[in-house]
Amino acid sequence: MPKFDSLLFENGFAVGSTQYSDHYPGYESQNHIVIPLAPSQDKSMSIRAIVDTGAKWCIIHPDIAQDWEKHFFHAYDSNQPMIIRGIKFERGKIAHANVVLNASSGEDLIIEARFFIPELSPDQIWSFPNFIGLDGLLNFIRYAIDPSENTIYFGKI
């Protein structure tokens, strides 16, 4: 059991915790905090995403976004080009989805998160990790990191 589970669960800061990975495949030269998450509906498989306080949106691989289509709601098509990870996307949409931060200890946390879903042009290939961004999710939960145990604690505000 992670060292601070009792403390953080009992004082209401967190409802759950899970172990994170330091690395994302293909980006091993950089340290990240990679955690699992999934759509809240049953039979939905998990993905892994980087906890990124430098990212605005939650962004997932476009193929996964397509697979998650039934989970998205409140969609809005933006007519302005947007630059994500230094790459220009002529179009994209903003949408919400209920996602679960999977707990290994305590309880899962379900959040209505905000995603940016880029629309790739035929010559564009997606080669980025999945990200959990600040305005897309992180700013709306409590979380704490314990690097000594690679543990992330999360809870509701």
Partner 1 sequence: METTEKILGQAVNSQRTLRGLQPFVELDGEPQQKLFEAGIASQSTRKQEAKFEPFETAIAEKDYQKFDRLIKGLDLSDYQPAEITALIDLCLSLDMISAAFDLSTKARDLYPRHAKIESAYKALSPPKFIGTRLPQAAGLEKSQAWFKEKASYYKGKWVAVNNGSLLAEADSLKELKNKIDENSMNPSTVIEKIF
Q: Please list every residue from 33 through 72 that binds partner 1, using CB under 8 A.
A: 33-34, 36, 38, 40, 42-48, 50-56, 61, 63-64, 67
1 binds partner 1 (CB under 8 A): no
Choose, by CB under 8 A, the member of 80, 122, 123, 148 that binds partner 1. Answer: 80
147 binds partner 1 (CB under 8 A): no
Tell me how far apart the alpha carbons of residues 114 and 136 are, in angstroms, rounded to a whole number. Answer: 4
Strand partners, 101: 37, 109
141 binds partner 1 (CB under 8 A): yes
Do residues 68 and 96 make contact, with C-beta atoms less than 8 angstroms apart? no
Choose, by CB under 8 A, the member of 8, 118, 128, 153 that binds partner 1. Answer: 128
Which one, of 48, 33, 65, lies nearest residue 102 by Cα?
Answer: 48
Binding characters for partner 1, 86-125, by CB under 8 A (x = yes): xxx----xxxx-x-x-xxxxxxxxxxxxx-----------
149 binds partner 1 (CB under 8 A): no
Which one, of 95, 102, 87, lies nearest residue 66 by Cα?
Answer: 95
CA distances from 11 to 8, 14, 125 (A): 5, 8, 46
Choose, by CB under 8 A, the member of 8, 9, 71, 137 that binds partner 1. Answer: 137
